[in-house]
Amino acid sequence: MSKQFSYYLDNISKYAGYLAAIFVAILSLLVAYDASMRYLFSSGSIALQEIEWHLFDMVFLLGLSYALKHDKHVRVDIFFERYSQDTRMIVQILSMLLLVIPFSLLFLNDAFDMTMQSYVQNEVSSDPGGLTHRWFIKAMLVLGFVLLVLQALSEVLKAYHRLENKMALIKTLIIVALVATLIYIAWFNRVAFWFDPVFLMFAMALVLLMLGFQVAFVFAGVALFFALIADEVGLGVLEMLPYRVYGIMGNVTLMAVPLFIFMGLILEKSKMAEGLLLSMAKLFGSVRGGLAISVVLVGAILAASTGIVGASVVMMSLIALPLMLKHNYSPALASGSIAASGTLGQLIPPSIVLIILGDQMHLSVGDLFRAAVVPGLLLIGLYIVYILVLSYFSKETAPAIVSDEPYGEIVKEAVKEIIPPLLLIGVVLGSIFAGIASPSESAAIGVLGAMLLAMYKKTFSFSMIRYAAIETVKLTAMIFMILIGATAFSLVFGELGGGDMAMNFFTGDQGDVWTFIFIAMLVIFLLGFFIDFIEIAFVVVPILVPIVAMLGIDPIWFAILIAMNLQASFLTPPFGFALFYLKGAAGDKVSTGDIYRGVVPFIGLQLVALGIIVLFPELIYLFGE
């Protein structure tokens, strides 16, 4: 009976996800149409623009439960992947019962009040020509979290049925109940915290993250827990959360996130990477280290067209790694060049990292994109110089490849493969740099361009668009659930005085500009070992923003330092995410030791590039302020 109930709940989430995927495609077409009408015919519509952000909202709100159904809400799997099946199921059950359901029910209560208030007041758009019935989009918050609760119940039932040792779950729940009772007794008797609750918040979040609980729900659950037990906070502080989330829903900058993801996924499936790698490998193969150089250049092109690190690393691991090993390249150099060039998407526009940093630091995304060009080119140049020098002094590490094919034909083939993606990059980034289009408009045009490129490659199909749209829903829902959890975390953190504590530290005698920059970069670098850039951007960066303003630091320069730092942490053993992507895709072709040895020199090059941008901040403005 419970299995059948779980099946029905899963179906609800499945159809919600499919509907959200349809909205992704419609959103892309509407934004592209709106941009074309406005710039070509000076004809715009407020109602159409509001429909666009309503569609954007429904994509991630309907996708919350769908992403949970497919276990796409990211977790730190350092220990989780080593757990037994029973331990994983217990973690899943605890996550749903202690984090997802309590937080969602509290959020639903406040979101329902907000929606009813809008309905009673017959709230309409504040802009002339805008949409009426504003309560409808606020009601989507309620619907999204109702679906999330239902899917959480399904996950509990599924995990319980997969659990072989039911007694282990009962014992775990008894321990949790005992701990909860002790905490309640301590709270009831007003026992003082042994440590500052600000530190306890971060410690509890870090422990839960390491145990393998989903990131977004950890931040949300920890926020709820400390709102309950800290008298200076109380649940009242979270009453504002639906209003904060509604503000996120209307953020046009963030609309670029699903559109760029959609564009990148279409390009991933268009076999553009495969054609680029093979033609570039022939083009540079006759040079010692040429294959590795072609990997770096293709990685840069993929970064500027897809911006999805995981996809870039996996694609190049599957295509380039066997080719390099076949031609007797050092496994270490092959692994290092693939991992390093695959992470260029963290920095090179249209980077999702930069879009999120722009939103969190209240900066123009276009300015950040322009500022990231020189650091990106600097990294590419350093990678290529290192490969050339290494292959010159160690000929067996990266031998040249002799080809019988006429070089003129190779050049023609390479030009045919390179020009279409470069044109797409030029249109997307050029329109942003020139101030002609916003990031979301450029991304929508990029989606159409990616479809045309797929048609040019003869790989376009309905199934490809369906795959890209569905995966976009999962990734977008994951990102925005982390943002919702991080917003709740920040509300409670601020109420506990965390922001003031950080500010006071850096206004004291022990703090100055360079001390702050060093500590901030070190903290972000270390956190990057364990958690993804999304969590760092949503949780840590907002704490740093007021200090950056107070110390008079150039925020664009600081944002670029963060992006470069995050890229380095993506590569750093033993927990760099790019290393997991590479090992997962490569299997037994290379050992973990080869991967670690290969990435260390590239991490050094990234730190050199970071140091150059620290010492010469004016470099980021070479493409205009």
For the stretch 515-555, pLDDT in tens is 888 888 888 887 777 666 777 888 788 888 888 888 889 99
**Alpha helix (H) residue ranges in 343-406:** 352-360, 365-393
Which pLDDT does position 156 carry in this prediction?
A: 94
Residue 33 within any structural domain of the chain? no
The structure tokens listed for 598 are 């290969």
Round to whole Å and give the CA distance between 64 and 476. 9
Which of the two residues, 568 and 553, has the higher pLDDT score? 553
Residue 502 within any structural domain of the chain? yes
Last residue of a domain, one of 192, 217, 250: 250
Read off the pLDDT band of 1 (50, 70, 90). low
Which pLDDT does position 268 carry in this prediction?
A: 76
Last residue of a domain, one of 188, 220, 250: 250
Residue 7 within any structural domain of the chain? no
Co-location of 477 and 385 in the same domain? yes
Which pLDDT does position 589 carry in this prediction?
A: 82
* Residues 214 and 483 sit within 8 Å (Cβ to Cβ): no
* Residues 200 and 222 sit within 8 Å (Cβ to Cβ): no
* Residues 578 and 570 sit within 8 Å (Cβ to Cβ): yes
Does the pLDDT value for residue 599 go beyond 70? yes
Co-location of 269 and 227 in the same domain? no
Co-location of 213 and 331 in the same domain? no
Which pLDDT does position 40 carry in this prediction?
A: 75
pLDDT digits (tens, 9 = 90+) for 57-113: 999 999 999 999 998 887 766 688 788 999 999 999 999 999 999 999 999 999 999
In the chain, % of residues over pLDDT 90? 29
Which pLDDT does position 506 carry in this prediction?
A: 62
Co-location of 237 and 268 in the same domain? no
Co-location of 273 and 245 in the same domain? no
Residue 52 within any structural domain of the chain? no
Which of the two residues, 387 and 278, has the higher pLDDT score? 387
Co-location of 344 and 413 in the same domain? yes
- Please report which helix (H) or strand (E) contains residue 363, including its range: none
pLDDT digits (tens, 9 = 90+) for 224-240: 999 888 877 778 888 88
Average pLDDT score, the chain: 85
pLDDT digits (tens, 9 = 90+) for 376-395: 999 999 999 999 999 888 88
Say which range, 65-74, 494-503, 585-594, has the weakest mean pLDDT. Answer: 494-503
Residue 264 within any structural domain of the chain? yes
Provide φ and ψ at 214, rounded to 5°: -60, 135
Co-location of 471 and 352 in the same domain? yes
Round to whole Å and give the CA distance between 65 and 60. 9
Closest by CA to 110, choosing from 206, 241, 211, is 241
Which pLDDT does position 466 carry in this prediction?
A: 94
Maximum average pLDDT range among 104-113, 268-277, 290-299, 398-407:
104-113
pLDDT digits (tens, 9 = 90+) for 333-344: 988 998 888 888
Read off the pLDDT band of 310 (50, 70, 90). low
Which pLDDT does position 412 carry in this prediction?
A: 83
Does the pLDDT value for residue 511 go beyond 70? no
Co-location of 241 and 289 in the same domain? no
Residue 243 within any structural domain of the chain? yes
Per the structure, the count of domains in the chain is: 2
Residues near 175 by beta carbon (within 8 Å), at least 6 away in sequence:
none
Co-location of 268 and 244 in the same domain? no
pLDDT digits (tens, 9 = 90+) for 15-41: 999 999 999 999 999 998 888 887 777
Calculate the CA 243 to chain-centre distance. Answer: 23
* Residues 335 and 301 sit within 8 Å (Cβ to Cβ): no
Say which range, 3-12, 69-78, 419-428, has the weakest mean pLDDT. Answer: 69-78
Co-location of 218 and 269 in the same domain? no
Residue 446 is classified by DSSP as H
Last residue of a domain, one of 250, 269, 296: 250
Co-location of 99 and 185 in the same domain? yes
Does the pLDDT value for residue 508 go beyond 70? no
Closest by CA to 618, choosing from 565, 556, 531, 571, is 556
Residue 41 within any structural domain of the chain? no
Does the pLDDT value for residue 305 go beyond 80? no
Which pLDDT does position 501 carry in this prediction?
A: 72
pLDDT digits (tens, 9 = 90+) for 147-196: 999 999 999 999 999 998 889 999 999 999 999 898 888 877 777 777 77
* Residues 353 and 534 sit within 8 Å (Cβ to Cβ): no
Does the pLDDT value for residue 450 go beyond 70? yes
Is residue 589 packed enough to be buried (19+ CB in 10 Å), middle (13-18) or exposed (0-12)? middle
Round to whole Å and give the CA distance between 148 and 72. 13
Co-location of 236 and 321 in the same domain? no
Residue 351 is classified by DSSP as -
129: containing domain: 70-250
Which pLDDT does position 174 carry in this prediction?
A: 94
Residue 15 within any structural domain of the chain? no
Residues near 351 by beta carbon (within 8 Å), at least 6 away in sequence:
303, 307, 345, 369, 372, 563
